[in-house]
Every structure is written in C-alpha cells, then in structure tokens.
C-alpha cells in the first residue's frame, strides 16, 4: 500500500543556503536588506504600488483592516467559504464579520446576489478570498459592486500569488490585498505575509502599525500606536530562494493538475476556475457525491485527503452570531462534496494514478 500525505513542503536547499549565507555575512538577521529585496520582487510580481511584509497571512489581513480604519461598530461582509483567518481578522479589529454564501458548491466565490440584503449602515467593506489557485470568478463584478455601494474591497489572496489575467494580479483589485507565505503556499517563508495597496495613505498607516508606531527603527519616540508585524531576513532568504523557482513551482503544480484531470476528468467535478486568469493549483479540488465516504476509502488506501473549508457560519466559535443554516445551501454542499487532493511538488504520476483509482473505487 502506498502512503501519500496531503502535503510536503518544497524547499530548494541549494538556493536557500546561498541566500541564507548572505544573511550571516551581512550579520543582519532581523528585517533588513533581504526583506527589502523580497518586498521589491513581490511588488514586481503583483504590480502593486506599495507593499509591506507581515509576520504571517492572518496578521497581514489584520494589518490591512486596521490600516483602513475598520474597527469597533463596523461590519465586514465575508465570503462564507474561506479559511477561518479571513473571519477572525475582522473579529480581531473589533468589527463584526457578516457571512454570505458562495455562488455554487463548485465555485467558491462570494454570491453578490445575496450580499445586498446583508448591507447595513455599518457595512464598511467586503472581504473575498481567491481560493485554491483560481481567481474569484466574479472579481470584476465584486469590484463594481463595492464602488456602487461605497464599500472597501479587501482581497484575501493568501493562496493567490502569481495569479493574474495579464493586467491585474489577484490582490490588487481592491483597496488592499493580502498574501500568506505559510509552509504550504505557492511561495513559502515558513511563516510570513504580505499586504499590497495602491493607496499611499493606507500604505503609510501600515508602515506605522507594523513597526511600533514609528517610521523607522532606532528611535524611541512613537508618534502613533503600533505593533510588531515584521519578518526576519532569515525568512526573506527562503522567500527569495523560492521566488527564483516560481516558474518551476507553477509548472510542476500544473502537471499534477493535468494528471488528475487525465484520470478523473469527466468522472468527478473539478473546482470552477476563472478562465481569464492564470491558475496555480494550490490544491486540486474535486467534488463527489459524499466527500466523507470517499475520504474514508482513500484513508484506507493510505492516502491523506482533506476536506474543503468548514463554512464559517457553522464554526463553533461563531455560534454567537446566530446565523441561519438555511441561508448557506451552497457552502454546505461545497463542504459535503469537496475534497482537497494531495498536490505537492515531487508527487509522482504513479501516486496520482493510485490516488485517482482509490477515489473512483469509492464512487462505485
Ligand atoms: C485563504 C487564507 N487566508 C488566510 C490564511 C492565513 O495565513 P497564515 O497561515 O499565514 O496566517 C490562509 C493560510 O493559511 C489562507 O489559506
């Protein structure tokens, strides 16, 4: 029996050691020259005017919301199917997350038709998430909607580095966009995050907030309240080494996706993609009649599948919001039918075939 884990990190040791050596040569292990270089390269990739590094993707969203002035008394519409950090960062700034269903079980994109009746005088922003390697399928409509209703658009692009339609990179449609460099992300620094914006004032707010309320270190005079959201150069060294391999990472992930398509295409549904944007499978997502049953079969065969996100309205930590389950049929079906298949660099054709066979066995 094969043993196939859900994920293995891709760390290119040779490049990493070269970058990390320069950290020790410069004797600068806190945030320094490599952080600046990593930031510049990320700005080039995303095409954003301004950007700041953050300690992780969750704090990146928190920093973004804080810099936009969102806080107590405000409400933020949050896509109901996403990682918990999208909702929690709203809660963390003291605002209320208002969850809204997705478009379809196989399209993890905010359903705009359901947003309007959730708007109140307190709604300040909409937070969407570009998930599993695809851009939100209605990102341009969401942007128009925000403009019409005078709402800020916050994009959780934690999983979306490198995804673009050739003109606009995910994370740069809205007022702010955030990225994660957690171990399983397209580019990783172990832990890490990044926030982009084209708004100078928001950028300046972030500079203060991320560095103890001052513009530069080395002074103990703090004009504003701020915290520490910095990232060390050891982490940026890993990020720079990863960026050198970005084309390779994308190519390998697409190969995996295409193999799953070859073995499963036409037999199960795949996640709906935005066909005008590039696609970098963060995980390969498929939909079956009963995800729990299929995952059980796969586990018996030594494979580690994973469910898709448990809808936010159902999270035990959010019962205090008293959401009505019947308002979220698409999110519920998405969870009951969706499976994350192992998607990591190094996964062989044989392993993908074995995983696909096991999945199909459960459908009989
Ligand atoms: C959609 C989404 N949002 C936010 C995060 C939070 O990022 P981090 O784990 O770096 O805090 C993640 C990743 O873990 C994510 O997948």
Name every protein residue with a CB atom under 6 angstroms from any ligand 1 atom: 56-58, 82-83, 85-86, 129, 156, 158-159, 180, 182, 193
* Ligand 1 center–CA 298 separation, angstroms: 26
Give 190's DSSP letter.
Answer: B
- pLDDT tens digits, one per residue of 309-356: 999 999 999 999 999 999 999 999 999 999 999 999 999 999 999 999
pLDDT at 60 over 90: yes
Query: Domains in the chain and their CATH numbers?
Result: 13-243 (3.40.640.10), 246-363 (3.90.1150.10)
- pLDDT tens digits, one per residue of 76-96: 999 999 999 999 999 999 999
Listed in sequence order, the residues at least 6 apart from 37 whose beta carbon sits closer than 8 Å to its beta carbon are 236, 240
Pocket test for ligand 1, best of 54, 82, 156, 180 (most atoms within 8 A of CB): 180
Distances (CA, A) of 13 to 7, 27, 34, 143, 251: 18, 21, 17, 40, 19
Bridge partners of 51? 196
- pLDDT tens digits, one per residue of 92-121: 999 999 999 999 999 999 999 999 999 999
pTM of the predicted protein model: 0.97
Instruction: Provide the H-helix boundaries in the chain.
Output: 13-26, 33-46, 57-67, 84-92, 139-148, 200-210, 233-244, 246-264, 291-300, 329-337, 349-363
Q: What is the pLDDT, as a whole number, of residue 76?
A: 98
pLDDT at 26 over 90: no
pLDDT at 11 over 90: no
* Ligand 1 center–CA 339 separation, angstroms: 18
């Amino acid at each position: 029996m094969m043993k196939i884990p859900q994920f293995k990190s891709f760390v290119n040791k040779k490049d990493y050691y070269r970058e990390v050596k320069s950290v020790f040569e410069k004797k600068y292990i806190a945030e320094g020259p490599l952080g600046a270089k990593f930031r510049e390269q990320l700005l080039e990739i995303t095409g954003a005017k301004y950007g700041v590094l953050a300690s992780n993707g969750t704090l990146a969203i928190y920093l973004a919301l804080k810099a936009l002035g969102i806080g107590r008394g405000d409400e933020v519409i949050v896509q109901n199917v996403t990682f918990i950090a999208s909702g929690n960062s709203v809660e963390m700034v003291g605002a209320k997350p208002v969850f809204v269903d997705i478009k379809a079980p196989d399209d993890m994109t905010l359903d705009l038709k359901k947003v309007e009746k959730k708007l109140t005088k307190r709604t300040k922003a909409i937070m969407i998430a570009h998930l599993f390697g695809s851009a939100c399928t209605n990102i341009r409509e969401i942007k128009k909607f925000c403009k019409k209703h005078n709402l800020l658009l916050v994009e959780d692009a934690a999983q979306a580095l490198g995804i673009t339609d050739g003109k606009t990179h995910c994370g740069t449609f809205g007022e702010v966009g955030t990225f994660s460099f957690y171990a399983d992300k397209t580019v990783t620094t172990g832990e890490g995050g990044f926030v982009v914006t084209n708004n100078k004032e928001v950028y300046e707010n972030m500079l203060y907030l991320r560095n103890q309320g001052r513009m530069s270190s080395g002074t103990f005079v703090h004009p504003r309240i701020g915290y520490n959201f910095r990232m060390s150069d050891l982490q940026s060294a890993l990020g720079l080494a990863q960026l050198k391999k970005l084309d390779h990472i994308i190519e390998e992930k697409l190969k995996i996706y295409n193999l799953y398509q070859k073995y499963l295409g036409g037999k199960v549904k795949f996640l709906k993609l935005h066909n005008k944007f590039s696609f970098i499978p963060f995980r390969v997502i498929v939909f079956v009649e009963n995800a729990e049953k299929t995952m059980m079969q796969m586990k018996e065969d030594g494979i580690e599948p994973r469910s898709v996100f448990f809808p936010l309205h159902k999270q035990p930590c959010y019962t205090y919001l008293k959401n009505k389950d019947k308002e979220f049929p698409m999110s519920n079906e998405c969870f009951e039918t969706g499976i994350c298949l192992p998607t990591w660099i190094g996964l062989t054709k044989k392993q993908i075939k074995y995983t696909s066979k096991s999945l199909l066995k459960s459908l009989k």
